[in-house]
């Protein structure tokens, strides 16, 4: 994707080994408010990735372990927050893949306003409802549905080329270690 549509590295995995892929269920809320997140969960389908623009807020969390429990019950595959979370250890123990801008013990309000199923900015990328989100320890990519097949085919090509290169590198290293000392 020409290294485009990658969220900025300020939004990071909240526990090692987290990964997910699925369609975006988008939420816009204000900093420190999670009413719209609760509203979005009414529409959640198994496999959705909750993508939340909490305006990059850095004072109050919009997500915690109780919402994580609700997400898991709804089949949510992961959560991406341009804002803060709390209860990181509890969410890790539940196994919900989570990316956020940071952590705060300060919990959210539920006053609104907010919106669901609209384009949102998250980590410097516009995410439309239904965009494919793929996330792991390295970061988060957003793939437009109409490009998904082409991106997957290109990834397969890159993986094949890199696998061949790894074998070449490893073979070269083995040959150096087996060369005679006086050569």
pLDDT digits (tens, 9 = 90+) for 56-113: 999 999 999 999 999 999 999 999 999 999 999 999 999 999 999 999 999 999 999 9
19, pLDDT greater than 90? yes
140, pLDDT greater than 60? yes
Distance CA(156)–CA(153), nearest Å, equals 5
Distance CA(40)–CA(144), nearest Å, equals 21
Is 29:54 a contact under the CB 8 Å cutoff? yes
> In which element (H, E) is residue 175 found?
helix 148-178
Distances (CA, A) of 172 to 161, 163, 178, 179, 180: 17, 14, 10, 11, 15
Question: Is this prediction's pTM over 0.95?
Answer: no
Distance CA(146)–CA(106), nearest Å, equals 40
Whether the CA torsion 9, 14, 17, 21 is positive or negative: it is negative
Distance CA(92)–CA(9), nearest Å, equals 20
> Could you give the percent of the chain with pLDDT greater than 70?
95
For residue 107, the Cα-to-chain-centroid distance in whole angstroms is 22
Q: Average the pLDDT over 138-166 and give the result.
A: 91
Tell me the pairing of strands 61-63 and 125-127: unpaired
Q: Average the pLDDT over 18-27 and give the result.
A: 98
Is 49:20 a contact under the CB 8 Å cutoff? yes
Rounded to the nearest integer, the mean pLDDT of the chain is 93
The pLDDT score that the predictor gives to residue 177 is 67
Distance CA(26)–CA(6), nearest Å, equals 16
């Amino acid at each position: 994707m020409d290294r485009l549509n990658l969220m900025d590295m300020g939004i990071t995995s909240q526990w090692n080994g987290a990964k997910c892929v699925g369609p975006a269920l988008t939420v816009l809320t204000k900093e420190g408010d999670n009413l719209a997140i609760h509203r979005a969960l009414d529409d959640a389908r198994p496999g959705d990735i909750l993508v939340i623009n909490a305006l990059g807020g850095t004072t109050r969390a919009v997500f915690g372990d109780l919402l994580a429990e609700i997400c898991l019950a709804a089949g949510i595959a992961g959560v991406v927050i341009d804002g803060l979370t709390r209860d990181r250890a509890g969410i890790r123990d539940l196994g919900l893949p989570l990316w956020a801008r940071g952590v705060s013990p300060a919990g959210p309000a539920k006053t609104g306003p907010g919106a669901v199923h609209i384009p949102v900015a998250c980590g410097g990328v516009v995410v439309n409802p239904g965009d494919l989100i793929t996330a792991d320890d390295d970061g988060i990519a957003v793939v437009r549905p109409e490009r998904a097949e082409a991106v997957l085919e290109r990834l397969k090509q890159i993986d094949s080329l890199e696998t061949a290169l790894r074998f070449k590198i490893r073979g070269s290293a083995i040959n150096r270690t087996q060369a005679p000392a006086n050569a």
